[in-house]
Structures are given as structure tokens and as C-alpha cells.
Chains A and B, each alone.
Chain A
Amino acid sequence: MRTLLDPTSERAPAERTLTPRPASLDGLTVGLLDISKPRGDVLLDRLAERLAADGVTVRRYAKPTFAKPAPVDLRHEIATQCEVVIEALAD
């Protein structure tokens, strides 16, 4: 019997289920996350306009740099303040 050593982290991937998509945005808060890529704001500005026109509460967020993961505090802030988040991956 030959035996090899596992080169991986030996972790089972964390199981995270997506929050069910809401049927309506009534009374919900929508977060708009700008990852700080050029022109992401163009898309998000327009979305903010449309959502506000529909009476939806909108909050704006931005990553300090697109080149690094969003800071833990930012992720926590979005998770606690919003029910829905839209991220703009523009260029």
C-alpha cells in the first residue's frame, strides 16, 4: 500500500447558502458596492437614481482598492445594514 500526504489545507469548503432573492424591494435597504474600478460609479449612480425613484433605501459603499479583498469591517457593515447588495465589477 502506497501512502501520499495530502498537500491541501484539508478543509471542507464552508457551506453558505444564498439568501433567497426577495420578491420585492419594498421596505428593504439596497447596498451599492463600488470596487473602485474605473467607471463602476457610472453604473452605480444610475442604479441609485432608479432605485431611489422607486422609493427604495440605497446605501453606497466602496472598497479602498479593487486589487485587494474587501476589508472585514466593510463586509460586516454591508451585511448588517442591507438586505440586498449590488456590486459593480466595471472597467
Chain B
Amino acid sequence: MTDERVLPDSWVAVVKRDCPTCLLVEPVLQQLAAAGSLTVYSQDDPGFPAGLPVVDDRELETSWRLQVDTVPTLVRVEDGVEVERTVGWLRSSWEGLTGMSGLGPDLPDHRPGCGSRSVEWGVAEELDRRYGDRVLSSRTVELADLEDEVEAAYARGWTDGLPVVPPTEARVLAMLAGTDRAPSDVVAVVPPDLVPCTVEKVAVNAVMAGCLPEHLPVVLAAVAAACTDAFNVHGVLATTFPAGPMVIVNGPVRRAIGMNSGGNALGQGNRANATIGRALQLVVRNVGGGRPGEVDRATQGQPGKYTSCFAEAEEGSPFEPLAESRGVTGSALTLFAASGSWPVVDQLSRTPESLARSFAASLRGVGHAKLAVAFDAVLVVSPEHGRVLRQGGWDRTRLLAELDELLTLPGDELVRGAAGIAEGLPAGFEGSPVPKFRPGGLLLVHAGGTAGLFSTIVPGWVSGAGGSEPVTVPIDPARPVEGA
């Protein structure tokens, strides 16, 4: 370790009065002080241990520099450099370190120590900020004494309309602990301003969205996926259509960070779901410069543009996980250009054949009942509907094949003017069958609570290479950056 301050050549003990083991070893510290040179740093009470020369470390600077995580910690220093340390109370270790025998004869042989104050939650990050080298490069914004932090964020145009968590240095440092990647790593070039966006900038926006550090790897993956040419978040942002990125998460990370794939999965109430989707939108807003009324030209928009993120219920699903079906195993996310959602009610179908017909009848309305191929869709199958499929032995491939067939539509019904509706496919499709969805344009996911014979359709935006392709990427805290 690097230590700017030279330690005294002696035994150095770091203690706190609040620790029973530190109280226990007080007579041992007296023995050491009598036998040689002992320096005691006290984290909470400079009067403890009584009668010894104690250095006040209530500011925890020495504890931080020594990287103490347990008290008591006993260190042997030679020529200003640490050569050995022991933590807690273990007589043999203390005797070995000091070369003395007969330490604490009335004490038990062993007692574990207590947590150091310097590693308490929120304290470690503050000490990093105070005493460590500055690892952050974002411009700092000093607030006036009477300025409200939340209002300050509004005043500077940083919010999506809801209050944000003020991005202090300590909070951003804590957020960065969620990834192994360096703060300066470039995650993606974010449109519309085409700004190289660093891990640090993602972390600042993740703090504002309300994320926890463990959510950061998911946000990083989502930002990278959104900024691919295939997903085309620039177009998703700029369109007059009500499109916005929807994040669907698969794999062990779902449980690890407490995401909701069950009841109300697509709704409010779960922190990970709510804040990950919001963080992605804040990155586009703040880093990319994509704001409503400016490059965001949405005619009406939709509430999913605040945040849209949920996990797939892989347990009990009739399907293999969505990401796996798209070639990515383990923790992964799929990004979809979503334009709202609407429910499919079917409380009577008890066979997959009947249920598939219900799905098809509702899916036909995606975009417009007379338009085809132009829009992708996600069908979020609920557990009760999933059970009907599972009991009938239908998997993803089977349901997709059946829906393909059911959604091959007669061109006569789709052309402009048919059914007295001007909208529709251009002339020339009369007499030919037309698929509602392009190949791969319909995605199936399993999510929701265990009660309710309803599923959900999430319609997409302009599909394919001319618009937005669904993009699936792995989620990995240490994921290497492409092209950086």
C-alpha cells in the first residue's frame, strides 16, 4: 500500500471502545506499552484505552490508510513500513507478532474482532473520496447553501420529470463499486449528440435514477445494447411514434439483484426494475442530449418512456429463456423498441390450439390490423397461459410456428381501401398471403403473477435494419469494451 504518512516504528494498534474485543485486550495493550513502543489509534474515543498515549482517529484517516477492516488490528512497523499484522484477538498471533510471551494470561485464547468504523456502509466511500486520489473526472457543480439539491437537478434540466437522487461524489463512488470496470472506460457512443459515454457518466445517471451498485452492470449492458446500430436508439428517440427501450433480463442476475418477474412485473414497485430502465433513459437524456421537444419528437409518448424493465420468469416457463433462444446464455438482457402494452384476455381456452388463436387475433392489431411486417412485437405470456401451453406440450418453437401460420393474412384484406379503411398495404398484395411479422419479429417471454388468464402484447416500432432490431447482450461486470 502507499502511505503518504510515515508510521511510527513500533507496534500500532487500531481499536474502538464500542468493540468488546478491544475492551478485552486493554490489559494486553497495557503490557505492550510497558514493554516497548506502542501507538494506539482510537476510532471512537481518544480516552480509550485509559492511561495510554492514544492518537485520535475519529476522522478515520489512519484507519483508511492502513486499510483496517477489523478492530482490534495490531501492526508491526519497521522503517516506517508495515511488515506484519493480526486482527481480532488470538494470543499466539499477538505473541508471534510482538515476540513476547505471556500476553493476556487471564484472557481466553481467541476472540474475533469487530468491524472497523472505516468500512461501515457509506463511510468507506466517503473516506475514499476524502483521502484517495480523485478517480472521477466529471465536472463538479457546487450548490449554494440555500439551494435545494433536488430542485437544483430540476433547474439544470437533468431530470425526466420525477425527482432524482442528487449525484454526490460519495454516491457515485459507491455506485462504481458495482463494476470492475474503470470509471474512464467508454461504454458506448450515445446519440443523438454522439458522445463517448464513460462508466463514470453511466454511474452518475444510475445514482440519479435510484439504482444500487449491484444494478450498474445491467445498466452498462443496456446502454451498450441501446447504442448499437442494430438497436438504433437514435431513431427510437427521434421518432414521432411512442417508442422507448424496454429491457428484458434473463439469468442468475435477476435473483441476485432482486428483480421482479412475478406479480406486476411490468408495473411499479420493484426498485431494480424501476431504476435500471430509468437509468438507461437518463443516460440518453443527459449524456446523449436526447430530450422531449428537441430530438425526441414523440407525438404522444407513453408511460414506459420513464422506465421499462422486467425479468423473465424462467422458473415454470414453457419456453427456454428469451436470451438463450437468441444465443446468449447466463445473465443477459434483451432490448426491444417498445410502444406501450395491451392485455390479451382469454379465460376460457384450455388447449394451446385455442389459446394460440386468441393470441393471433390480438396480435393482428399490432401497429394496425391492416399493416404487416412493419412492426415487431413481444408477447409476454402469463404463468396461467403458460400452463395451458406446457400441459399441451407446446414450447417456444411450436407456439411461434403456430402463430406464424395463424398470422399469415390474406392480402385482399390488407390493401389500402379494403374494409373501407384507407390505411393498409399498397396495391399489389391482393391475392397473396402476407405474414403479419417478419421472420424473428415476434418475441415470446414468460412473466407475471400466478393468478390471471391474461397475457400482454408489447408492440414495437419500425422493424428490421431500417428501424430497430431487438438486441441481446450478456451482462458481465467485467465485460470488455468493443473497439475501445
Contacts and interface: CB of A to CB of B under 8 A. Distances in A.
A8 interface: yes
A9 B289 contact: yes
B195 interface: yes
B167 A4 contact: yes
**Most chain B CB atoms below 10 A, which of A7, A10, A65:** A7
Interface stretch (B43-51, B71-79, B140-148, B474-482): B140-148
A67 B465 CA distance: 10
Contacts of A9: 190, 193, 195, 197, 201, 286-289
A2 interface: yes
A6 B140 contact: yes
A49 B169 CA distance: 61
Given A7-B205, A67-B235, A2 B143 contact: yes
A7 B466 contact: no
Contacts of B308: none
B150 to A, nearest CB: 11
Contacts of B149: 2, 4
Contact of B169 (A5, A7, A65, A67): A5
B193 A5 contact: no
A1 interface: yes
A3 B169 contact: yes
A7 B286 contact: yes
Interface residues of B, number: 42
Interface string A17-42: 00000000000000000000000000
A11 B193 CA distance: 9
Contacts of A7: 138, 158, 167, 201, 204-205, 208, 282, 286-287
Nearest to B158: A7
B411 interface: no
A5 B140 contact: yes
Nearest to B337: A67
A5 B289 contact: no
B153 interface: yes
A76 interface: no
Contacts of B152: 4
Interface in A52-91: 64-65, 67-69
Interface string B185-219: 00000111101010001001100100000000000
* Majority DSSP secondary structure for residues of B touching A: mixed
B139 interface: yes
B220 interface: no
A10 B138 contact: yes
B232 interface: yes
Contact of A5 (B136, B145, B192, B234): B136
A69 B234 contact: yes
Contacts of B287: 7-9
Interface in B438-468: 461-462, 465-468
A67 B232 contact: yes
Interface string B158-170: 1000000011110
A27 B16 CA distance: 86
Contacts of A68: 232, 234-235, 466
Contact of A4 (B141, B191, B192): B141
A3 B141 contact: yes
Nearest to B209: A7
A48 to B, nearest CB: 23
Interface of B: 136, 138-143, 145, 149, 152-153, 158, 166-169, 172, 190-193, 195, 197, 201, 204-205, 208, 232, 234-235, 239, 282, 286-289, 461-462, 465-468
25 contacts: A1-B143, A2-B168, A3-B141, A3-B143, A4-B141, A4-B149, A4-B152, A4-B167, A5-B138, A5-B140, A5-B168, A5-B204, A6-B139, A6-B141, A7-B138, A7-B204, A8-B289, A9-B190, A9-B193, A9-B195, A9-B197, A64-B466, A65-B467, A67-B232, A67-B467
User: What 8 pairs across the A-B complex have the smallest Cβ distances?
Assistant: A65-B466, A9-B195, A5-B138, A67-B235, A6-B139, A7-B286, A67-B467, A7-B204
Interface of A: 1-11, 64-65, 67-69
Given A6-B138, A6-B141, 12 more contacts: A5-B136, A5-B168, A5-B204, A7-B204, A7-B282, A7-B287, A9-B195, A9-B201, A11-B195, A64-B466, A67-B467, A68-B234
